[in-house]
Amino acid sequence: MLVRGFPAAAFGTNCWVVAPAAGEECIVIDPGIGVEAQLDQVLRDDRLKPVAVLLTHGHLDHTFSVTPVCGARGIPAWIHPGDRDLLADPMKGLSPESRTMFGGKLEWTEPDDIALLDPDVPLELAGLRLGVDFAPGHTPGSVVFRTPGVDIAGEPAPPVMFSGDVLFAGSIGRTDLPGGSWEQMQTSLARVVLTSADETVVYCGHGPSTTIGQERAVNPFLQDLSPAPPARGL
């Protein structure tokens, strides 16, 4: 599996491009602020054709470029129903300080084609099979995307998780924004993160990548939690 990532122009949000291999179809995860030129370069370099945009959640720093990225290619944007309203009005998910940065208003058009994620139904896009784990806490509709631990030829491969703002290297996403919940975050970490295999490579929404084993050992937000029954699906 080919994974390319780069930070957006603001907030250090990671945009991920995922494909079975160079020269294939791909998906784009979390196109944040000012990513269009960098994304175009990655697509040219690896000769990739996007077929969908996947959103780990509805915060503006992860969705800012979703409409131009989808519109230029006629592809859908996938989001969990719990965050669907943030594609209609992303200002609803911002802190008062962040609203001030945008002058209290934002010129915004949601994508023409919006598809709703179902955590019970794995996605099969661009030759990839991705599980969808519902993981609220940072937002009501936060999810993580994960691979099943085999490559396109069916051979064993390290499982991969795209964690959005659920899990970072050494930290977790904040829960004090509108729609956030510390209690739900605790449940999501126990159910989604701590039940994942140690060798799982985690591509985070901000900052460096990590592994579940590393975070299980050193992440202070995981130390007092116990694994809960895993989510259904992949």
Between 46-60, 84-98, 181-195, the lowest mean confidence (pLDDT) is in 84-98
User: Are 208 and 176 contacting, i.e. CB atoms less than 8 angstroms apart?
Assistant: no
For residue 229, tell me if it sits in a domain.
no
Q: Residue 203: pLDDT above 70?
A: yes
| Tokens 């064993």, located at residue | 156
For 175, the domain range is: 2-218
Number of structural domains (the chain) is 1
pLDDT tens digits along 123-173: 999 999 999 999 999 999 999 999 877 655 666 778 999 999 999 999 999
For residue 224, tell me if it sits in a domain.
no
Q: Residue 214: pLDDT above 50?
A: yes
**pTM over cut 0.75:** yes
CATH number at residue 100: 3.60.15.10
End-to-end CA distance of the chain, in Å? 17
For residue 227, tell me if it sits in a domain.
no
C-alpha torsion 47→51→55→56, nearest 10? -70
pLDDT of residue 233: 43
For residue 53, tell me if it sits in a domain.
yes
